[in-house]
Amino acid sequence: MTQRSRQSSEAKLAFLTGVISRTAFWGALGVITWMALTPRPPVAAHSPSDAIQHFVAFSYLTVVMWCAYERRMTLAQMIAALFLYGAGIEVIQYFVPNRYFSLSDLAADALGITIGAAIVTATNRILERLRHDSTPAV
């Protein structure tokens, strides 16, 4: 494989990865927003507690947002944006029938964001070490 075709393949893979990660992020954000603002969202028979749902949702959003936008935003900007999104959802829920503002939901969101950011940071460190170790010595 020539260098030019390898670069072309890498560019195609990067493009496809970006499309998939942005689709995953915006799809999840849409579903989470709909679930949060629906007066009576569907509930599974054995669904986990509300706090666990918030924690998992915001951990996932943090990781997938990083995958989608790591070249456009810093991790700190993503953390702030997701926290503001979570706070905004809680404020809006105050005005939605059968919903209410909850500090415990916001705390679960913040914990999820924190764990998601820790996963991103640890993954980046591991990838950097792998890249460094695989670079041929000159």
pLDDT in tens, the chain (138 residues): 676 776 778 888 888 998 999 999 999 999 999 999 999 888 877 888 889 999 999 999 999 999 999 989 999 999 999 999 999 999 999 999 999 999 999 999 999 999 999 999 999 999 889 888 876 665
Which of 91, 81, 99 lies closest to 29 in space, CA to CA?
81
pLDDT at 135: 66
Cα distance between residue 131 and residue 121, in whole Å: 15
Number of other CB atoms surrounding residue 93 within 10 Å: 17
The reported pLDDT for the residue numbered 137 is 60
Q: Whole-model pTM?
A: 0.86
**Residues near 136 by Cβ (< 8 Å), separated by ≥ 6?**
none
